[in-house]
Amino acid sequence: MTGDPPVHVPLDPAEVAASSRSLLLDPADFIEPASISTPCAPRNRSNGVARNPSAAGVLKLRFRFSKTGNLRFIGHHDLMRTLERMIRRGALPVASSQGFNPRFKVVFALALGLGIEARREVVEIEFTDPVDPLTTLKALAAQAPEGLDFIEAEAVVDRRATCRPIVASYALVIPQPLVVEARRAVAAFLAQDQFVIEKRRGDRDVPFDLRPFVLDANVDDEGLFVFRLKIEPGGSARPDELLTALGLRDPLDHGAVLIRTDLELAP
């Protein structure tokens, strides 16, 4: 590994519990809109927004949804099964694949790691009959369990096109005892041309340059650590890899919650 050594500062669990900015609280209580522009949608499910409500009669929709609270502990496959049950309960005319084991034509932009909250995830659903974006959004939202909120629906004109993520944004609150060292570690990391770590590939570790995948990162005076990771067709860096490289795993190990605040898609 190149660059300054990771910062490892022992963290007293009591300091994390006492932090007024702990992510165990509702993020809306302490994350300013300027820092994270799209907060979790309210539980009033009748207020969903369709970006193009006039686009009636479409066969494919792109939804934005959030996944918060205890629901962050369900894995990606459980989330897929949850959505399938929502589709069936809502009696939506979703298209299925052919063959002996047909599946709904549902595509998630990017799987979410276990334990990570999300604010603006993306899923695309194809239908057999024309549907209205706003009506379908409300139908899905009405069937969603607590912690899963469908907040936007957008028509996809080209049914053959598939959403491709290019940037993932994250946020993590760093407890005050670690803020100064965290800012120093982030600055040192960004000053490097490369930052090589060991990445597991199959049954062996291989060198991996983490630096090109970190587009930007910042720790503000209040301890909010925000960063953006580039996503390429061949893969990307994981958020936990960056936290480990910076010596900032302690907050996660003591109960802080990592949030994926947004997914940026290719045009």
- pLDDT, one tens digit per residue, over 86-135 is 999 999 999 999 888 889 999 999 999 999 999 999 999 999 999 999 99
Same domain for 143 and 49, yes or no, is yes
Banded pLDDT at 32 (limits 50, 70, 90):
very low
Triad 207, 209, 213: Cα angle to 5°:
145
pTM: 0.78
- Give the residue from 155, 184, 215 where a domain finishes: 155
Q: Which of 155, 180, 210 is the last residue of a domain?
A: 155
Least confident among 43-47, 78-82, 91-95, 263-267: 43-47
Q: Is residue 5 within 8 Å of residue 167, measured between CB atoms?
A: no
Looking at per-residue pLDDT, the higher value among 30 and 241 belongs to 241
Question: Given a cut of 50, is residue 31 above it in pLDDT?
Answer: no
Say yes or no: 49 and 25 in one domain: no
Examine residue 2 and state whether it is found in any structural domain, yes or no: no
Measured CA to CA, the distance from residue 134 to residue 55 in angstroms comes to 9
- C-alpha to C-alpha distance for 182 and 187, rounded to whole angstroms: 9
Same domain, 150 and 195: no
Q: Dihedral angle at the C-alpha atoms of 92, 98, 100, 104, nearest 10 degrees? A: -30
Instruction: State the total domains in the chain.
Output: 2
Relative to beta strand 106-108, strand 214-219 is unpaired
pLDDT band of residue 189 (cuts 50, 70, 90) is: very high
102/173 same-domain check:
no
Q: 150 and 74, same structural domain?
A: yes
d(CA 133, CA 124): 12
224 and 244 both lie in a single domain: yes
Contacts of 78 (CB under 8 A, 6+ apart): none
Q: Calculate the CA dihedral of residues 59, 53, 84, 103 and round it to 10 degrees.
A: 10
Domain end, chosen from 155, 181, 200, is at: 155
* Inter-residue contact 124 to 47 (CB < 8 Å): no
pLDDT band for position 44 (50/70/90)? Answer: very low
CA distances for 224 relative to 74, 86, 95, 190, 219, angstroms: 25, 35, 42, 17, 5
Which residues form the domain of 241?
A: 13-35+165-265
Both 51 and 140 in one domain: the answer is yes
**DSSP structure class, residue 18:** H
Q: Is 1 a domain residue?
A: no
Domain co-membership, 254 together with 179: yes
Confidence of residue 8 (pLDDT cuts 50, 70, 90): very low
**pLDDT number for residue 234:** 81
Residue 127 near residue 159, CB atoms below 8 Å: no
Query: How distant, in Å, are the alpha carbons of 63, 69, 184, 220, 224 from that of 57?
Result: 16, 34, 53, 46, 43
- Residues 173, 241, single domain; the answer is yes
